[in-house]
């Protein structure tokens, strides 16, 4: 089930949220701690105003809520609201037997016993879940994983507690997002969503239902993802998931924040991940775990796509082809013969090798001159310090491969003194925003612009083919940012 957490301060606001989200949800949680004082007296009537089950919750400040009054008053408020036709009531795990609990049982309202841990994961989480379930209540554990290893603990819940059929388990924060989306793989009976997040990591019900189709995940669903750190900003789920749906391919693609590549491969085996994209900073770190790599990966020393092939992992690099495809004609026609590459990281490696393999002269600029020197030595390119960018204005192509200019650093410009001209081709790999500060300057100079979003989509379509064995559906391409502004 997908549960919408209602965050309005009035009954009317909550009814509006319900109406907007009705197509995407199975039940709601009415947070009376978020209601104004005058609205709380009408809370008991709310379940009669809607056509879906409602959870009654009054969350304390210590548990991430807004209710700061005396505990006795809070429990009395919950008890009074139970006159309404609520399906569930959330009462914290540490609350001893109270009148609200007794009233809920008398009225046939199921009790959710919740624990919210914003610091980590309790060492006895399995025991706590089993103990609550043994009393006939529904255990809810909202905890905070800080690593992939913590996430593995959450994914163990389904197998370790398979006898507990009704339970709610979720991870908060960035590392917890996969547990919210793959809630069925954890064995959780529901996941929480909100228009305005009231807990760390909540996403909208529409995104959960339409983008991820999380409620459709079953034992046959193939799991794909993108790993990185940070990674939640990734555009890739907006490419892959619509593509899966477009060809009726039973699969889901989601972001996995990863602090340890080794731990992620353990998780991948555990939940049977079929393949994944790789972004900063793991494009080189994945290499030791791959049983087979393509010629491009071997040459570049960087991998951005991993797929499961029989009993091993195979690594490919779609950045190489996604980058070079739109400029091959200009290279062949000698309109592009020299290039300036800004950066010396994993993305730069793919770019420099692609250009060198197509006969271009390349100069690498980087703040860390030793990294530029190392990449230049490997690729038979030239190098220089980033502060000397303006000295290389005679090149045909400028490629920006760093994260400078990416949201939230949207005003950043890696080469603020570079004199762009009409004859230049300026290729920006940052895709959010579409027009970075550097591209805006190049546009004013009349340079030909090439956008990061277009490269992202091209390499994403190649990843889609690796994941599924099918071409990306053409009818969907126009919705992926390919059209010119």
Nearest to 382 by CA among 320, 327, 339, 347: 339
The answer to whether residues 136 and 104 touch, using CB atoms and an 8 Å cutoff, is: no
Residue in 22, 168, 158, 21 with CA at minimum distance from that of residue 88? 168
Q: Facing residues of 338 across strands? A: 361
Cis amide prior to 281 (ω within 30 degrees): yes
Spatial separation of the C-alpha atoms in residues 315 and 361, rounded to whole Å: 28
β 448-450/425-428 pair status = parallel
Q: Give the 3-state secondary structure of residue 85.
A: coil
How far apart CA 218 and CA 265 sit, in angstroms, is 22
Burial level of 25, CB count in 10 A (0-12/13-18/19+)?
buried
Choose the catalytic residue: 167, 184, 209, 283. 283
Cβ(364)–Cβ(375) under 8 Å? yes
What gap in Å lies between CA 246 and CA 333, rounded to an integer? Answer: 37
Distances (CA, A) of 31 to 99, 108, 190: 20, 20, 17
The alpha helices in 272-430, defined as continuous H runs, are 295-300, 318-324, 328-332, 346-357, 369-379
How far are the Cα atoms of 290, 304, 420, 462 from residue 310, in angstroms, in the given order? 12, 19, 50, 20
Task: Name which of 290, 254, 288, 286 is nearest 273 in CA terms.
Answer: 254
Determine whether 103 is an active site residue. Answer: no
DSSP 210: I
Task: Please give the Cα distance from 260 to 273 (Å, whole number).
Answer: 16
Three-state DSSP at 104 gives helix
Sequence-ordered list of residues with C-beta below 8 angstroms from that of 404, at least 6 positions apart, any chain = 412, 413, 414, 430
Active-site annotation, residues: 283
């Amino acid at each position: 089930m997908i549960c919408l957490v209602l965050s309005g301060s009035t009954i009317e606001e909550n009814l509006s949220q319900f109406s907007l989200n009705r197509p995407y949800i199975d039940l709601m949680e009415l947070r009376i701690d978020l209601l104004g004082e005058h609205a709380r007296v009408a809370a008991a009537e709310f379940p009669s105003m809607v056509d879906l089950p409602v959870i009654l919750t009054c969350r304390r400040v210590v548990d991430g809520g807004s209710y700061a009054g005396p505990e006795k008053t809070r429990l009395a408020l919950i008890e009074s609201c139970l006159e309404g036709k609520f399906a569930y009531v959330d009462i914290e795990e540490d609350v001893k037997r109270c009148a609200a609990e007794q009233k809920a049982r008398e009225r046939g309202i199921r009790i959710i016993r919740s624990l919210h841990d914003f610091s980590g994961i309790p060492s006895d989480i399995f025991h706590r879940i089993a103990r609550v379930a043994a009393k006939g209540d529904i255990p809810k554990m909202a905890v905070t994983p800080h690593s992939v290893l913590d996430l593995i603990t959450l994914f163990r819940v389904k197998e370790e507690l398979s006898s507990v059929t009704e339970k709610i388990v979720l991870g908060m924060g960035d590392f917890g997002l996969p547990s919210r989306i793959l809630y069925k793989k954890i064995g959780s009976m529901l996941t929480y969503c909100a228009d305005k997040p009231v807990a760390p990591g909540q996403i909208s019900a529409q995104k959960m239902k339409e983008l991820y189709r999380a409620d459709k995940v079953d034992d046959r669903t193939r799991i794909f993802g993108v790993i990185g750190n940070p990674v939640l900003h990734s555009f890739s789920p907006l490419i892959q998931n619509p593509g899966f749906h477009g060809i009726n391919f039973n699969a889901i693609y989601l972001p996995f924040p990863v602090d340890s590549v080794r731990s992620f491969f353990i998780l991948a085996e555990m939940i049977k991940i079929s393949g994944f994209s790789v972004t900063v900073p793991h494009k080189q770190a994945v290499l030791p775990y791959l049983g087979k790599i393509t010629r491009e990966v071997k040459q570049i020393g960087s991998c951005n796509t991993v797929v499961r092939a029989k009993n091993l992992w195979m690594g490919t690099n779609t950045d190489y082809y996604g980058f070079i495809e739109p400029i091959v004609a200009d290279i062949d026609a000698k309109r592009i013969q020299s290039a300036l590459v800004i950066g010396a990281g994993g993305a730069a490696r793919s770019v420099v090798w692609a250009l060198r393999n197509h006969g271009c002269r390349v100069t690498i600029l980087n703040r860390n001159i030793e990294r530029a020197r190392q990449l230049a030595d490997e690729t038979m390119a030239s190098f220089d310090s980033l502060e000397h960018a303006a000295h290389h204005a005679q090149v045909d192509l400028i490629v920006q491969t760093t994260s400078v200019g990416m949201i939230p650093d949207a005003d950043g410009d890696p080469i603020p003194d570079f004199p762009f001209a009409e004859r230049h081709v300026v290729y920006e790999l940052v895709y959010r925003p579409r027009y970075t500060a550097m591209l805006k300057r190049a546009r004013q100079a009349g340079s030909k612009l090439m956008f990061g979003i277009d490269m992202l989509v091209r390499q994403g379509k190649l990843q889609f083919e690796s994941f599924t064995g099918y071409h990306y559906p053409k009818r969907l391409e126009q919705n992926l940012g390919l059209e010119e502004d």
